[in-house]
Chain A
Amino acid sequence: MKVLVAVKRVVDYNVKVRAKADGSDVDLNNVKMAINPFCEIAVEEAVRLKEAGTATEVVAVSIGDKACQEQIRTALALGADRGIQVETEGAVEPLVVAKLLKGVIEKEQPQLVILGKQSIDGDNNQTGQMLGALTNMAQGTFASEVAIDGDKVNVTREVDGGLQTVSLNLPAIVTTDLRLNEPRYASLPNIMKAKKKPLDVHTPADLGVEPKAHLTTLKVEPPAERQAGIMVESVEQLVDKLKNEAKVIS
């Protein structure tokens, strides 16, 4: 079984991002970048399937400029067998990503596609679902457990009310939630070995896709700063303020 995993280059989760002064975007100048944590979980799951003998090949794909090869290499160091970069410029929207991934799926014919449920930069949570719709493949989103069962995959989903298990026919698309697994560290020897693994570069045109922008960012601004609190004198005063100033009780 061939598994395709998508990885995205995002701002490292530890970075405290700051908005640019002109409000056009967050400031990415000299900021540490990393694999989106949910994508890392996707890679780990695919590698575990390979270690268990269920998967025969793990292919890591990323969409972006040359810099995203760094994240592909990390996926290779974590255990993926080969990488694909779809070379794009600037920001790409979830729909474009989904279309490009569909193109990669048509070329690669994987039995299972694992993606992060969302990326921590845009927080869109759309790509996996759009990809399911575009490819007509079954989808199991927010996975906390993935079990291959013959030509099916059983995906336990984290839903509002608890856990829901769905059984999907392969090929299928799975998006990972936080508790699916704990990704390993890529060791230095594996990082060095990853250098020798193949990495192919495609253009959107190779995949028959023309990246288009459907969305316009109007403004990027930091969240409002919390106002300093005050000490109230009495319970009566507290109730009064909750009622009349904060208006959270009536």
Chain B
Amino acid sequence: MSLDFDSARLPNPNFNEEHEAWRTQLRRFIDTEIMPYAEEWDEAGEIPMELWPKAAEVGLLGLGYPEEYGGVQEGIDSWYGWITNEELARHSVGGVNASLMVHGIGLPPVINWGPDWMKQEIAPPVLRGEKHISLGITEPGGGSDVAQLKTTAVRDGDHFIVNGSKTYITGGMRANWVSTAVRTGGEGAGGVSMLLIPTDAEGFSRTPLDRKQGWWASDTATLYFDNVRVPVENLIGEENKGFLVIMTNFNGERMAMAAGMEALGRVCLEEAVEWARDRNTFGKRLADHQVIRHKIAMMKQKLNATQAYIRCCYEAIEAGSPDPGDIALLKVQASETMEFCAREAMQILGGIGYMRGSRVERIYREVRVNAIGGGSEEIMRDLAARQYKL
């Protein structure tokens, strides 16, 4: 076995011809439209607007969304999602996927909980790649403790008046709409609602957060709401029932992140193995030194475990019985695996791995955002312990 990206993937009997066809076509798309510019976009800290319509054309943006809004849903199962997140990891440019695919967290609340007019107005241009939607949950004063959020939406006739701010909002600089968590009621989870806020509304402003450890190419932002008037019809789901919307959104996001992290770990393995086979030290290949062989074997061991766990969770989702605790711990498993693989690959590559321009160097910078964003390892373990009724 050559231990490259594909051969280091465990067999999965759930994959059929269409899945493989999607992998092949998506890979061609990424190899042509993203790979050659990967480093350039990373260094520039942004990706061109033209990428969205191109990604829409190949079917990447519409994957899993209803046909009536321009998506492809019929016949689409979880395995397409896994393949997509795997393939998107290969270019290893922090922030491209976060920004390109941010509708993956911003749009589901609208699709799953929004009124008809909202779906019809928002979903088609987003899935065509012409407009953008983000998700606004985290605030400067707190993130993980969603139930304590402070941004308020006070009813005034047929409008809400929104005041407060959101931060670390992926895709926030170019978003046309933000699915925003606001406080419409009393203290705690029972006072939270989801509100669709257009970014051209008066009183809305934003500033970029462009000096980050990773995700350089993502237009992450802080958003400010200063007496922003939002029509009541922009409620996503029922008033004061927003917490449920937020929580159901997380499972999909965590699965996508876990799939991406395992694949990023596999890229590290691929790069490390190639180097270890080529590089000679002390009269033999790096790959012939036991200390290096064990590093590679351990990377593969952890990747195997993570792949099997991902498959297990996707099978549960396909069977209609996902366990949020298992998914939360999968995210931890995946970020620990990615962290280990990034570290060990960097040790094997040595100086060349430390230089900008290599995929391992890029992935190393992306470990923390994956281990923290979408639910930190600590919060994930705590959530799991609660789910398991400890």
A residues lining the B interface (CB < 8 Å): 12, 14-16, 18, 27, 29-32, 34-35, 69-70, 73-74, 77, 185-192, 194-195
Complexed CA–CA distance, A12 and B24 (Å): 9
Contact B1 A73 (CB under 8 A): no
Contact A192 B76 (CB under 8 A): yes
Nearest CB on B from A74, distance (A): 5
Complexed CA–CA distance, A134 and B60 (Å): 44
Nearest CB on A from B56, distance (A): 9
Contact A29 B7 (CB under 8 A): yes
Contact A189 B59 (CB under 8 A): yes
B residues lining the A interface (CB < 8 Å): 1-2, 4, 6-7, 9, 11, 17-18, 20-22, 24-25, 28-29, 31, 57-60, 62-63, 72, 74-76, 80
Contact B1 A27 (CB under 8 A): yes
Determine the residue in chain B with the shortest Cβ distance to A66: B17
Nearest CB on B from A106, distance (A): 28
Complexed CA–CA distance, A27 and B20 (Å): 20
Contact B1 A186 (CB under 8 A): no
Complexed CA–CA distance, A189 and B59 (Å): 7
Contact A31 B2 (CB under 8 A): yes
Complexed CA–CA distance, A25 and B57 (Å): 40
Complexed CA–CA distance, A73 and B80 (Å): 16
Contact A34 B24 (CB under 8 A): yes
Nearest CB on A from B150, distance (A): 41
Which chain A residues lie closer than 8 Å to B2 at the CB level? Answer: 15-16, 18, 27, 31
Contact A192 B72 (CB under 8 A): yes
Nearest CB on B from A73, distance (A): 5
A-B residue pair count with CB separations less than 8 angstroms: 75
Contact B58 A187 (CB under 8 A): yes
User: What 3 pairs across the A-B complex have the smallest Cβ distances?
Assistant: A188-B59, A32-B6, A30-B7
Which chain A residues lie closer than 8 Å to B25 at the CB level? Answer: 74, 77, 185-188, 191
Contact A73 B17 (CB under 8 A): yes
Contact A73 B7 (CB under 8 A): no
Complexed CA–CA distance, A66 and B21 (Å): 15
- Offer 30 A-B interface pairs, CB within 8 angstroms, sorted by A: A15-B2, A15-B6, A16-B2, A16-B4, A18-B2, A29-B1, A29-B7, A30-B9, A32-B7, A69-B17, A70-B17, A73-B21, A74-B21, A77-B25, A185-B29, A187-B25, A187-B57, A188-B22, A188-B25, A188-B58, A188-B59, A188-B62, A188-B72, A189-B62, A189-B72, A192-B72, A192-B74, A194-B18, A194-B21, A195-B18
Contact B9 A186 (CB under 8 A): no
Nearest CB on B from A224, distance (A): 15
Which chain B residues lie closer than 8 Å to A30 at the CB level? Answer: 1, 6-7, 9, 11
Which chain B residues lie closer than 8 Å to A18 at the CB level? Answer: 2
Contact A188 B63 (CB under 8 A): yes
In the complex, besides A188-B80, A191-B59, 6 extra interface pairs with C-beta distance below 8 angstroms are A74-B25, A185-B57, A187-B25, A191-B21, A192-B72, A192-B74
Which chain A residues lie closer than 8 Å to B17 at the CB level? Answer: 69-70, 73
Which chain A residues lie closer than 8 Å to B7 at the CB level? Answer: 29-32
Nearest CB on A from B101, distance (A): 14
Complexed CA–CA distance, A18 and B2 (Å): 7
Nearest CB on A from B154, distance (A): 43
Nearest CB on B from A133, distance (A): 33
Which chain A residues lie closer than 8 Å to B21 at the CB level? Answer: 70, 73-74, 77, 186, 191, 194
| Most interface-central of B11, B21, B25, B28 (chain A CB within 10 A) | B21
Nearest CB on B from A26, distance (A): 10
Complexed CA–CA distance, A30 and B74 (Å): 29
Contact A195 B4 (CB under 8 A): no
Contact A70 B20 (CB under 8 A): yes
Determine the residue in chain A with the shortest Cβ distance to B16: A70
| Most interface-central of A30, A185, A188 (chain B CB within 10 A) | A188
